[in-house]
A and B are shown apart, each in its own frame.
Chain A
Amino acid sequence: MTFSRRPATSQTGRVALRRSGGQGSPVPFLVPALLIVFAVLIFPIVFSFVVSLFDWPLSAGGGQRRFVGAGNYKDLVMDKEFWNSLRLQLGFIFIAIPLELVLGLAAALLLNREFQGGRVVRALILLPVFFLPVVSGMTWRFMLQPRYGALNNFLLSLGAPEITWLGHPTFAYAAIIVQDIWRMWPFVFMLLYAGLAGIPSDVLEAAEIDGATFWKRLFLVILPLMYPTILTALLLRIIDALRIFSEVYVMTEGGPGMSTTLFSLYTHRQAFGYMKVGMASAMAMFLLTISVIFAVTLVRKNMSLEKLEDQGGNR
C-alpha cells in the first residue's frame, strides 16, 4: 500500500506544525516503552551484573551471599565445563550455520524461476521455521528413539543395526545440529531468495548471454550483488544460534553427560541445578556481551534507520 493521496498542504499548516514547538515533544510517546524496557531489560541486566559479583546461592537454604568481586569470572575461566559448553556452542555455530547458508543459497538459486507449483513449494518449505521450537525438539527426539523411531525403522529395513542416537555423545551432538539445520535453512533460503529476486534480471541475463559459466556467474555476479543479504542472514543466524536453548533442552537435556550442554544449557544448570546464581549471572554477562557485539554489527551494517525508513511500509 502506498500513501499517495495527499491532503491539501498549506503555508498555515507548516506554520502550525512549527508553532506547536516545531515538532512537539516525543517524550510522552516514548515513556511507556522506556518504562517496560527499563523494567524487563535494563534493570535485569544491571542486576545480573551485580549478582555476578557475589557468591549468591539461589535459595536461602544455600548459605550466605558473599561479595567475591571478579571471583565468579575467575572460577569460570578455571571451570572445565564452562570451556566445554563454549566449545560445543562454537562448534554448533560453525557447523550448522555454514551448511544452512549453502543449502539456503543453493535452494534460492534453483527455485528462483517460474515453474508449476513454485509458489506453493516456496510457501510450504518455510513451515519448519515456524514449527514451535519445543515441538521441533520433541519430534526429533521421537524420530531418533530406538524401537519405534523413524530413523531406526529405516535403518532396520536396510539391515543396519539399531542405534540409540540420543544416548551416544557424538550422535546426540550431531542430532541437535541436524535438527537446527532442518529447521533453519529455510529461514536463510527465505532471506536469500528475496535478495536474489532483488537483483535486476537483465544483469543476470547479460552475464548468461556473454557466455559466462554458471560458476563464473555465481562468484563474479550473483554473490557480490547478494553480499549484503548474505551478511544479514549470517549475522541473524549467529545471533539466533547463540541463544539456542529450548530445542536442545527438550531433545537431550544437555546429555548424555555434558555432550550437548551448550552455553545456555550450562547457564541454566548453574542457576537451577547447582543453585549458583552468581556463576550463572557471570555466564549471562558473557553471553550478553557477545550477543551485543554481533547485534550491534548487524544493526550498523544492515539495519540503519534510514534504510528501514526507505522501505516505507511498502513491503
Chain B
Amino acid sequence: MTMANRRKTITTAVMFFAIALLLIELYPIIITLLNGFRRDIVILSGQKFELNQLTLDSYMLVFKNRQMMKAMGNSVIVGLLSTALSVGVGAMAAYGISRFKFRGRNALAYSFLVFRMLPQMSLVVALYMMFKAVGLRDTIFGITLAHSSFNVPYVIWMLIPFFTAVDKSYEEAAMVDGCTRWTLFKLVFLPLVAPGLVVAAVFAFINSWNEFLYALILTGVKARTAPVAISSLIGGDTLTWGQMCAASTVMLTPVFVFTLAMQRFLIRGVAAGGVKG
C-alpha cells in the first residue's frame, strides 16, 4: 500500500470513529431534546420512539407552570445582574492589576484565581447563616451576590490578558492630554478590551445560569432559579420527565448557542477554573 493510500484509509477510519464517538456523546442530549416533545405518559409507558408522538404538550405545561416561569425569569435576572456586577467590578480590578505596578500584585492576582476554584460547598453553609442573619436569604440580591463569589474572580482572570495587550503608548498619549486614570480606563481601555468584555460576560452568564448548589440552599420560593425548579420536577411520585426535558431544553438552548458561537474562546473560557455546577 502506498503512503497516500494508507493515509486515506486512516482518515476514513478516523472519520467513522469520530462519528461513533459523537453519537455516544450526543445520545443523552438528543433524548433530552426529543423527550421534551413527548408526553409524560408516553415516556413512562416505555414505548419506542415514533414521529407521531411528537407534541408540544410538555412545553405548554411548562409555560403554564407559574413557578417554573418565575424560576426561569429569576434565572435571567440573576444571570444578567451577576454578569453586570462581575464584569463591571472585574474589569476595574483587572485594569488595576495589569496596568499598575504595586507590591503584592502577584499575590493578589493569584489569590483571585484560587478563590475562583474554591468548592461552593465550602462556602455555602456560612453564606446560608450570614444571609439568614441579614435577611438576604431567598432574595434576588442575595443569590446574585453569591454568584459573584465565583464570577468576580473569574472575570478578573479572563480580562487580565486583554488589558495587558493594550500598548503602553496609549496611556502615554492620553496622559499628555491630561486624562485622569479613570477617564483613561473608561474612554481608552474599555473600548479596546470590548471583545474581552463580551467573552467574559458570556461565560459569567453561563456560570450563573448553570449554578445549582447556591440556588438550592440560598433561595426558597421567591428567588429560586430554574436549575432548582427543574430538579423538583422529578422526585417521589412526581415523574414528569417530559416537562423536565422541555424545561431543560429551554435552559440548554442559549448555552449551546453561545458555546457553538464562541468556539475560539472556549478553552480560555473553561480553563480559568473549570465548569460550574
> Do these two chains really belong together in a complex?
yes
A190 to chain B minimum Cβ distance, whole angstroms, is 6
Note all chain A residues with C-beta closer than 8 A to B275: 129-130, 133, 187, 240
Known: A29-B95, A187-B275, A288-B118. A45 touches B25 (CB 8 A): no
The 8 Å CB contact of A150, one of B31, B98, B156, B176, is: B31
Residues 28 to 65 of chain B near chain A (Cβ within 8 Å): 28-29, 31-32, 35, 43-46
Q: Are B97 and A245 in contact (CB under 8 A)?
A: no
Q: Which residue of A lies closest to B276 (CB)?
A: A133
Note all chain B residues with C-beta closer than 8 A to A80: none
Residue A242 CB within 8 A of the other chain: yes
Residue A221 CB within 8 A of the other chain: no
Q: Are A130 and B256 in contact (CB under 8 A)?
A: yes
Q: Are A148 and B248 in contact (CB under 8 A)?
A: no
Residue B1 CB within 8 A of the other chain: no
Note all chain B residues with C-beta closer than 8 A to A9: 169, 172-173
Task: Report the number of A-B residue pairs with Cβ-Cβ less than 8 Å.
Answer: 344
When each residue 193-230 of chain A gets 1 if its CB lies under 8 Å from chain B and 0 otherwise, what string results? 01000000000000000000000000000000000000
CA of A256 to CA of B50, assembled, Å: 34
Residue B237 CB within 8 A of the other chain: no
Note all chain B residues with C-beta closer than 8 A to A44: 123, 126-127, 130
Interface of B is mostly: helix
A10 to chain B minimum Cβ distance, whole angstroms, is 7
The 8 Å CB contact of A126, one of B28, B234, B259, is: B259
When each residue 166-184 of chain B gets 1 if its CB lies under 8 Å from chain A and 0 otherwise, what string results? 1101111101101001100
Interface of A is mostly: helix
Residue B109 CB within 8 A of the other chain: yes
Tell which of A135, A263, A280 has the most Cβ of chain B within 10 Å.
A135
Q: Are A240 and B274 in contact (CB under 8 A)?
A: yes
Of A71-79, A90-98, A169-177, A267-275, the one touching chain B: A267-275
Tier of interface size on chain A = 35 or more
Q: Which residue of B lies closest to A136 (CB)?
A: B28
Note all chain B residues with C-beta closer than 8 A to A113: 11, 14
Residues 173 to 224 of chain B near chain A (Cβ within 8 Å): 173, 175-176, 178, 181-182, 185, 192-193, 195-196, 206, 209-210, 212-213, 216-217
Q: Are A312 and B169 in contact (CB under 8 A)?
A: no
CA of A305 to CA of B114, assembled, Å: 13
The 8 Å CB contact of B277, one of A243, A268, A292, A315, is: A243
Note all chain A residues with C-beta closer than 8 A to B17: 110
Q: Are A3 and B125 in contact (CB under 8 A)?
A: no
Note all chain A residues with C-beta closer than 8 A to B160: 305, 308-309
The 8 Å CB contact of A312, one of B15, B43, B90, B161, is: B161
Residue B68 CB within 8 A of the other chain: no
Residue A88 CB within 8 A of the other chain: no
CA of A289 to CA of B101, assembled, Å: 30
Query: Could you list 6 A-B pairs, sorted by A, with CB under 8 Å?
Result: A30-B97, A127-B26, A133-B277, A147-B44, A299-B110, A300-B110
Chain A positions within 8 Å of B, measured between CB atoms, are 1-3, 6-10, 12-14, 16-17, 20, 23-30, 32-34, 36-37, 39-41, 43-45, 47-48, 51, 107, 110-111, 113, 115-118, 121, 123-136, 138-143, 147-148, 150, 153, 182, 186-187, 190-191, 194, 232, 236-237, 239-240, 242-247, 249-250, 263-264, 267-268, 271-272, 277, 280-281, 284-285, 287-288, 291-292, 294-296, 298-300, 303, 305, 308-309, 311-315
Chain B positions within 8 Å of A, measured between CB atoms, are 11, 14-15, 17-19, 21-22, 24-29, 31-32, 35, 43-46, 85, 88-90, 92-93, 95-102, 105-106, 108-110, 112-115, 117-123, 125-130, 145-146, 148-149, 152-153, 156-157, 160-167, 169-173, 175-176, 178, 181-182, 185, 192-193, 195-196, 206, 209-210, 212-213, 216-217, 227, 230-231, 234, 241, 244-245, 248, 251-252, 255-256, 259-260, 263-268, 270-271, 273-277
